[in-house]
Amino acid sequence: MLHIVKKDVPKTREKIIVRVLAVLAALAVASIIVVFAGANPIELYIGIFQGCFGTIHRFAATIVKMVPLLVLSLGVMIAFKMRFWNIGAEGQFLMGAVGTTLVVRSFPNLPLPIMLLTMVLVSFVFGAVWLMIPAFFKARYGTNETLFTLMLNYIALTLVTALQYDFWKDPAANGMPKIANLPNNALLPNVSGFNLSILMAVIIVLAMYYFMNRSKIGFEISVLGESENTARYIGINVTKTIMIAALISGGLCGIVGMMQITGVSGALSTEITGGLGFTAIIVAWLSGLKVPFVVLNSFAFAVLLQGASYIQTAFQIPGSVADMIQAIILFFILGSEFALQYRFVSDKTKSEVA
Amino acid sequence: MALSAIFSKGESMNNDYVVKMENITKVFGKVKALDHVEFSLKKGEVHAILGENGAGKSSLMNVLNGIYMPDEGQIEVKGQAVNISSPKIALDLGIGMLPQHYKLVDVFSALENVAAGSRKTSPFLNKKKILDEMGKLIAQLGMDINPNKKVYEMSVAEKQSLEIFKVLYRGADILILDEPTAVLTPQEIKNLFKIVRKMVETGCSVIIITHKLEEVMEISDRITIMRKGTTIQTVNKEETTPQELAGMMVGDVMELNVPYVAVERGKKCLEVKNITAIDRNKVHILDHVSFDLYAGEILGVAGIAGSGQKELCEGIAGLYHIKSGEIIFEGENIVGKNPEKISQMGISLSFVPEDRLGMGLVSSMDIIDNVLLKDYRNTKGMGISRVVSRDKAEALVERLNVSTPAIENHAVSLLSGGNIQKVLLGREIELEPKLMVTAYATRGLDVGSSQIIYELLNEQKVKMKPIMYVGEDLDVLMGLCDRIMVLCEGRVTGIVDPRKTTKEAIGLMMSGVMSEGEETCSIS
């Protein structure tokens, strides 16, 4: 019989080697699918690379894909640091976008800088409230935040559907169920594809790095996540800390909603999240809840996303094949985590040790 | 032996012993949990294992139940030499242990809990068959179990009955009960003993771990006394007295090198008046506890584990709800205040909790961050600075000789137990507290580390700090402390001067015998 035994903490070098091997193995397995799809795997992988870095515009597209994922991952990271399982980033994202659209509809003629600032603020509040509701119930009544945040996703999605198909439906769209595009004074300015959200993301990353490592409340969140008993022991106000963490976590996810519709999609719709709120959970977790690794992993995911969309057009392969390649790589990387933390021991060797 | 054979209704002399354990030794790291222990169980007897905390009672039973593999020694079960490498194998041999923490599925009924994990059942659940079998066994034992009652509707005693039943249903005829009475009311204890007697009548043999003398005298046929990992003696109940047992349990006064420092005690600092607290099972875990604590003294707190020591410490620190009574510190009542409020009142209180890694420290953080835990509020503004904490951490490692590869990026959980405790205690002392409360400060520590801890505490005492020291080793308590308060089931059974009393007297107080009040240094 084989037993699974926990290993010692792996060294950084071992971690890197195992992960690189995992990606290589994933590419090898994915090659089989690529061959069936009628393409040459090597050429295709080079194509992914070119699709991401080939021209300045493609690189800009990669970075623009990275930004929402990065900010969402930072958002869920804070909650996760506190062992508060916020899997409602999708909903907070959508609510942020709803808030943004509400600002534009209410004050359509604001000058661009004021418009952008107002939108950032309102989207932050919308996202934050969407997470502070479950946080309040968790802190006060001990409800399960996992289910609560998950279910709020569907409420947010249904709300957006209602807005899109009814309340905010654009009368000028010839009956198409869509919400009107944002006016120019509500769009993020951009330079050859690099839009202002990149700058915002840089600021958020720096702020979050400081917050997690150098701020009192960030420290309290870490302590609370590790042990509620210790938090109480050193006199941390548990309820207050949960609420603040939820404010920032949900708020960041809300801002992504603003970035996405003002910088990428141009209008609120049910499609804007593209499941990024869930991908962010994977990114945050793979990064060990550390800001620098969140940046790195968000970039890696953005490369996969951008590469996938490029090879669809360049190689005429179906989008589902690109998705499968992505999924296989992810699967292998997640699987390699197991190899990093555990090893197999047979009964025989175990009894010899004992 | 012949005498007890009559009592144990031995059917035939040759298979008299159902369990024989010889020379059992088990070492954890440097600690010898069991040191050549001998134990035997006769068929049809109730055999009590008596000893203080850490005497090795549970370790020995874990060996018998296949949870620990002994490093040395032989086990014979029903005349066969056996190698018990898992609880499943133990059960195959008919040995079942009642877990200290019940493992029942709350939303299942008694019947479903019995069926789950029972190897008698086929893949399909034949409720009727199990119900019949259960009914027979229940009637036989005179138990009060309703097979259809859900576990979450049951009292602690009912859950315990169900656990016992589960073990019996799975075919065990050697039953190990680990501190079964700790959670029960006196009435429930009576019921439990009734069931135990019925079990013995039906041919089971029962081992009962306890440290309550009166229960031992009531239920057992033979008694094995353990102390510090060794068996002291096995005696027949008829041939002994509670006093003799208490003496064997605590041992002779050992010459321990615990330095007592004589200090003229100062003013009264802490006054605890009649505090009462209730735990989750609605038991009075603290029952009208009153005592005073003076500057420049170490007040020892002795008692069997779970007599309210933890709740008393946490109650003073503002972490456990005190239902009634007052805790007056420097003229102010701190009952009902949380740690944040207490520190805002300017009361710097050092509490070294029993659960070092789960409460006192953050196990995944390094030494610097763990020092920072008590310091970070001192930095102005929103940010924190690790500069001061780094210096403090370095000084702490240097002064207490903490062996660690690094103070940064090296989780404290990776340190040894002694070093973890040095970090915790060192940090608390560094705060220059007005009051120190320590719970089991030297538990699990080797002699050298313990020595350092005692010296640190004495140093604080010389600085006229009031110190409360909750301990379990009576030798240490008697050596170190100025006064010893004994708790039993949440009540104070005496506050004595260790230099004017005996270990036996304290041992009896720990078992619930009230001090006769000849020594009343608490009322000065």
The pLDDT of residue A88 is 95
Among residues A94, A109, A81, the alpha carbon closest in space to that of A157 is found at A94
pLDDT over 80 at B267, yes or no = yes
What pLDDT score was predicted for residue B2? 41
CATH topology of domain B2-250: Rossmann fold (3.40.50)
Lowest average pLDDT, out of A76-90, B438-452, B476-490, goes to B438-452
Comparing C-alpha atoms, which of B481, B509, B470 is closest to residue B305?
B470
CB–CB contact B362 A230 (8 Å): yes
Q: Distance (Å, rounded) from C-alpha A272 to C-alpha A112?
A: 22
Of A216, A230, A235, the CB nearest to B340: A235
* Whether the Cβ atoms of residue B418 and residue B445 lie closer than 8 Å to each other: yes
Using a CB–CB cutoff of 8 Å, tell me whether A239 touches chain B. no
Contacts of A70 (CB under 8 A, 6+ apart): A201, A205, A294, A295, A298, A299
Using a CB-CB distance cutoff of 8 angstroms, which residues of chain A are in contact with residue B382?
Answer: 215-217
A261, A272 Cβ separation under 8 angstroms: yes
Taking residues A296-321, what's their average pLDDT?
A: 88
CATH class of segment(s) B255-348+433-524: alpha beta
CB contact under 8 A, A233 and B339: yes
B60, pLDDT greater than 70:
yes
Beta strand B435-439 pairing with B284-294: unpaired
Residue B39, pLDDT > 60, answer yes
Q: Which residues on chain B are in Cβ contact (under 8 Å) with A237?
A: 340
- Strand-pairing partners, residue B350, are B436
Domain ranges for chain B: 2-250, 255-348+433-524, 360-429
Mean pLDDT of the region B413-424? 85
Nearest residue in chain B measured CA to CA from A207: B383
pLDDT for residue B432 is more than 80 = yes
Query: What is the least distance, in Å, from the CA of A63 to any CA of chain B?
Result: 31
- H or E, element range at B428: helix B417-430
Place of tokens 């049951």: B154
Q: How many CA atoms lie within 13 A of A45 on its CB side?
A: 16
On whether any CB of chain A is under 8 Å from the CB of B68, the answer is no
Q: Give the pLDDT band of residue A106 (cuts 50, 70, 90).
A: very high
Average pLDDT, chain B: 84
Residue B516 has a pLDDT of 60
Closest residue of chain A to B340, computed from CA coordinates: A235
C-alpha to C-alpha distance for B471 and B399, rounded to whole angstroms: 24
Query: What's the helix, strand, coil split of chain B in %, to 5?
Result: 35, 25, 40
Nearest to A216 among B317, B360, B383 (CB): B383
* Distance from C-alpha of B223 to C-alpha of B203, rounded to nearest angstrom: 19
Q: Mark yes or no for CB contact A230/B359 under 8 Å.
A: yes
Does the structure show a pLDDT above 50 at B6? no
Supply the pLDDT for residue A69.
Answer: 96
pLDDT digits (tens, 9 = 90+) for A267-297: 999 999 989 999 999 999 888 899 999 999 9
- Quick check: B302 and B504 in contact, CB under 8 A? no
- Is B328 in CB contact (< 8 Å) with chain A? no
* Chain B interface mutation, best of A234, A241, A347, highest count of B Cβ atoms under 10 Å: A234
Distance of CA A344 to the CA centre of its chain: 33
Distances (CA, A) of B45 to B48, B66, B406, B480: 10, 22, 55, 41
Confidence of residue A110 (pLDDT cuts 50, 70, 90): very high
Give yes or no for residue A221 having a pLDDT over 90. Answer: yes
Residue B5 has pLDDT above 60, yes or no: no
Q: Give the pLDDT confidence score for residue A338 in this predicted structure.
A: 83
d(CA B96, CA B75): 16
Would you say residue B128 has pLDDT above 90? no
Contact at CB, B362 and A232, closer than 8 angstroms: no
**Number of structural domains found in chain A:** 1
Give percent of chain B above pLDDT 90.
28
Rounded-to-10 torsion of CA A61, A66, A69, A70: -150
> Where does B218-368 show beta strands of DSSP type E?
222-227, 230-236, 268-278, 284-294, 298-303, 324-329, 332-333, 349-352
**Residue A268 within a domain:** yes
Please answer yes or no on whether A229 and B358 come within 8 Å at the CB atom.
Answer: yes
Domain of A123, in residue numbers: 65-291
Residue A12 has pLDDT above 60, yes or no: yes
How far the first Cα of chain B sits from its last, in Å, is 52
- Dihedral-angle region of residue A191 (phi above 0 means left; psi in -120 to 50 means alpha; beta otherwise): beta
Which burial class, exposed, middle or buried, applies to B412 when counting CB atoms under 10 A from its CB (0-12, 13-18, 19+)? buried
pLDDT-derived band of residue B188, with 50, 70 and 90 as boundaries? Answer: confident
For residue A253, which of A66, A75, A70 has the smallest C-alpha distance? A75
Instruction: Report CB contact under 8 Å: B351, A227.
Output: no
| A216–B377 C-beta distance less than 8 A | yes
Burial class (CB in 10 A: 0-12, 13-18, 19+), B289: buried
ipTM: 0.82
Q: Does A83 touch chain B (CB under 8 A)?
A: no
CB pair distance less than 8 Å for B384 and A233: no
Kindly state whether residue A92 falls inside one of the protein's structural domains.
yes
Q: CB B338 to CB A230 under 8 A?
A: no
Is A129 in contact with A155 (CB distance < 8 Å)? no
DSSP letter for A54, please.
Answer: S
Residue of A nearest to B341 (CA): A235
pLDDT tens string B291-300? 999 999 999 9
With b for 16 or more beta-carbon neighbours within 10 A and e for fewer, the B101-125 pattern comes to: ebebeeeebbbbbbbeeeeeeeeee
Give tens-digit pLDDT for B211-222: 777 788 888 999
Question: Across the interface, do A229 and B383 touch by the CB < 8 Å criterion?
Answer: no
- In whole angstroms, give the CA distance from residue B110 to residue B146: 7
CA distance B209 to chain A (A): 28
Within this chain, domains B2-250 and B255-348+433-524 share the same CATH topology: yes
A232/B339 Cβ within 8 A: yes
Q: Percent of chain B having pLDDT more than 70?
A: 91
* pLDDT band, residue B447 (cuts 50/70/90): low
Interchain contact, A234 vs B374, CB within 8 Å: yes
Q: Do B358 and A230 touch (CB under 8 A)?
A: yes
Give which of A322, A353, A283, A347 is closest to A41, Cα–Cα: A322
Query: Which tokens is B110 given?
Result: 């008694």
In angstroms, the Cα distances linking B139 to A49, A297, B54, B143, B476 are 76, 64, 38, 7, 50
Residue B232 has pLDDT above 70, yes or no: yes
Q: What is the DSSP letter of B440?
A: S
> Looking at chain A, how many residues does it have?
354
Contact call for B359 and A214, based on CB within 8 A = no
Are residues B87 and B66 in contact, defined by beta-carbon separation less than 8 angstroms?
yes
Q: Is residue A192 part of a domain?
A: yes
Statement: residue B3 has pLDDT above 50: no
A229 contacts in B (CB within 8 Å)?
A: 355, 358-359
The reported pLDDT for the residue numbered A325 is 86
- Check if A219 contacts B (Cβ < 8 Å): yes
Distance CA B418, CA A169 (A): 68
Strands B17-28 and B72-77: antiparallel
Domain-located, residue A318: no
Give mean pLDDT, residues A223-247.
Answer: 93
Indicate the pairing of strand B332-333 with strand B17-28. unpaired
Task: Provide the pairing of β-strand B95-98 with B46-50.
Answer: unpaired
CA distance A101 to A103: 5
Distance between CA atoms of residues A182 and A269, nearest Å: 12
What is the distance between the alpha carbons of residues B201 and B224, in angstroms, rounded to a whole number? 22
Q: Inspect the interface and report whether the beta carbons of B363 and A226 lie closer than 8 Å.
A: yes
Residue B14 in this model has a pLDDT that exceeds 50: no
The answer to whether residue A23 is domain-embedded is: no
Output the pLDDT for position B353. Answer: 92
Token pair 């559907």: residue: A161
Q: How far is CA B384 from CA A215, A220, A245, B380, in A?
A: 5, 11, 17, 8
Q: What pLDDT does residue B256 have?
A: 55
Residue B520 pLDDT grade (very low, low, confident, very high; cuts 50, 70, 90): very low
Do B338 and A216 count as a contact with CB atoms less than 8 A apart?
no
pLDDT digits (tens, 9 = 90+) for B323-364: 999 999 888 898 888 888 888 888 888 899 988 888 999 999
Q: State the pLDDT at residue A26.
A: 93
DSSP state for residue B357 in the 8-state scheme = I
Residues of B in contact with A226 (CB under 8 A): 362-365
Residue B305 pLDDT exceeds 80: no
What percentage of chain A reaches a pLDDT higher than 90?
70
Distance in angstroms (rounded) separating the CA atoms of residues A322 and A304:
9
Strand partners, B328: B271, B333
Question: Who among B340, B360, B383 is closest to A215 (CB)?
Answer: B383
H helices within chain A, ranges in order? 12-36, 41-53, 56-81, 89-106, 112-141, 145-162, 196-214, 216-226, 228-233, 238-260, 276-286, 291-315, 319-341, 347-353
A217 chain-B contacts, CB cut-off 8 A: 382
* Residue B53 scores a pLDDT above 70: no
Q: Is B345 on the interface with A (CB under 8 A)?
A: no
Determine, for residues A217 and B373 on separate chains, whether the beta-carbon distance falls below 8 Å.
no
Distances (CA, A) of B276 to A126, B55, B311, B515: 47, 30, 10, 20
Which run of H or E residues covers position B23?
strand B17-28
Give the Cα-Cα-Cα angle A198, A199, A205 (nearest 5 degrees): 90
B318 to B269, B274, B334, B347, B488: CA distances (angstroms): 17, 16, 8, 12, 22
Return d(Cα B212, Cα A24) in angstroms, integer. 64
Amino acid at B483: R
Cα-based distances in Å from B420 to A97, A228, B44, B309, B521: 49, 19, 46, 22, 35
Chain A residue with Cα closest to B373 = A234
B162: pLDDT strictly greater than 70 = yes
Q: How far is CA B179 from the centre of its chain?
A: 10
Q: Residue window 378-397, chain B: list those with CB within 8 Å of chain A.
A: 379, 382-384
- Asked which of A113-117, B167-171, B443-447, B492-496 is least confident by mean pLDDT, the reply is B443-447
| CA dist., res. A188 & res. A204, Å (int) | 17
Looking at residue A119, its pLDDT comes to 96
